[in-house]
Chains A and B, each alone.
Chain A
Amino acid sequence: MMTVPLDYYIILSAFLFAIGAIGVVVSRNLIVMFMAVEIMLNAANLALIAFSRFLKLMDGHVFVFLVMTVAAAEAAVGLAIVIAVFRARESVNADSLNLMKW
């Protein structure tokens, strides 16, 4: 039976989340920033599944399902915004969006 303790999964999830957070801050390519957001969502999903298993409660699986649906919607709208930005600025550099920059 389960030989891997819960905290291993949660710490792995923490590492993935930190990688995603650093990726969003460090990268300037809008698409790479989106992928880093996906990594963070995956990290949260992993923690949910792990807690779900150890609490013996399947509600976490439903929550992960909903998170994935939101991720799909977010990716569709986000990539459409990237396309619109590319049309307007000929670039996917986040720095090119400086109209509202103070």
Chain B
Amino acid sequence: MEMLIFAVAAIVALASAVMVIAVKNPVGGVLFLIMSIAAQTVLYIMLSGIFVAAFMILVYAGAIMVLFLFVIMMLNLRHADLGPDSLRRVKPLAWVFGSVLLAELVWVSMAASMPASGIDETFGSVPAVSRLLYGKFVYPFELTSVLLLAAIIGAVVMARKGS
């Protein structure tokens, strides 16, 4: 049963990820990416990462993807003509190198086998992860606020008109 859920989620995640780079219309690409994220969220829940699963839906599918959609619609990219394909001759090379990268990654991953053992019920729950965030990892966590502030200022400065 668990294997079946894994297989379905994995196939949906992979197929949607392929569609993201295959479809011509970027709005469709964003929707496929949301689908891929939803399938990966299923895997997170199977790995008992409840906190990150909620975060994935809220931040990735909710906020970041809406930002992408917003920009695509603001720029009206639906009919954006990219002109003649300058990469036509080197594209096969990209597939070759991509396949080599994939083979290498899979080869390395084969060695990654670990026995599955039981965990207590609080593993990955919101209180447990929050305790880590505000305890052991409080400095990195607080530093993300500086990062976000820098990103806000950067985004405003970059997108300002007539700068």
How many residues on chain A are close to B (CB under 8 Å)?
A: 75
The contact string, 1 if C-beta is below 8 Å from chain B, for chain A 41-82, is 010011001111111101101101110111111111101111
CB distance from B117 to the nearest CB of A (A): 7
Given contacts A49-B47, A84-B158, contact A14 B102 (CB under 8 A): yes
User: Complex: how many Å from CA A34 to CA B30?
Assistant: 11
Contact A12 B63 (CB under 8 A): no
Chain B positions 82-114 with a Cβ under 8 Å from a chain A Cβ: 82-83, 85-87, 91, 94-95, 97-99, 101-102, 105-106, 108-110, 112-114
Identify which of A2, A10, A16, A86 contacts B116 (C-beta below 8 A): A2
Contact B21 A69 (CB under 8 A): no
Contact A19 B64 (CB under 8 A): no
Identify which of A31, A75, A93 contacts B64 (C-beta below 8 A): A75
CB distance from B8 to the nearest CB of A (A): 12
The A contact surface, by secondary structure, is helix
Contact B132 A61 (CB under 8 A): yes
CB distance from B22 to the nearest CB of A (A): 9
Chain A positions 1-54 with a Cβ under 8 Å from a chain B Cβ: 1-23, 25-29, 31-32, 34-36, 38-39, 42, 45-46, 49-54
Given contacts A3-B3, A35-B30, A58-B128, contact A42 B49 (CB under 8 A): no
Contact A19 B14 (CB under 8 A): yes
Contact A64 B52 (CB under 8 A): yes
Identify which of B55, B75, B110 contacts A92 (C-beta below 8 A): B75
User: Complex: how many Å from CA A80 to CA B64?
Assistant: 13
Contact B20 A32 (CB under 8 A): yes
User: Complex: how many Å from CA A51 to CA B137?
Assistant: 19
CB distance from A83 to the nearest CB of B (A): 5
Contact A84 B159 (CB under 8 A): yes
Which chain A residues border B158 with CB–CB below 8 Å? 77, 80-81, 83-84
Contact A58 B124 (CB under 8 A): yes
User: Complex: how many Å from CA A11 to CA B30?
Assistant: 24
List residues of A whose CB falls within 8 A of some B CB.
1-23, 25-29, 31-32, 34-36, 38-39, 42, 45-46, 49-56, 58-59, 61-62, 64-66, 68-77, 79-84, 86-87, 91-93, 95
Pick 14 A–B contacts, CB within 8 A, sort by A.
A4-B46, A9-B43, A16-B17, A21-B98, A29-B77, A56-B123, A58-B124, A73-B150, A74-B151, A76-B151, A76-B152, A76-B155, A82-B75, A84-B158
Apart from A65-B133, A75-B64, 11 more pairs, CB < 8 Å? A12-B43, A16-B13, A17-B101, A23-B20, A28-B86, A35-B68, A45-B56, A52-B47, A53-B124, A59-B137, A83-B75
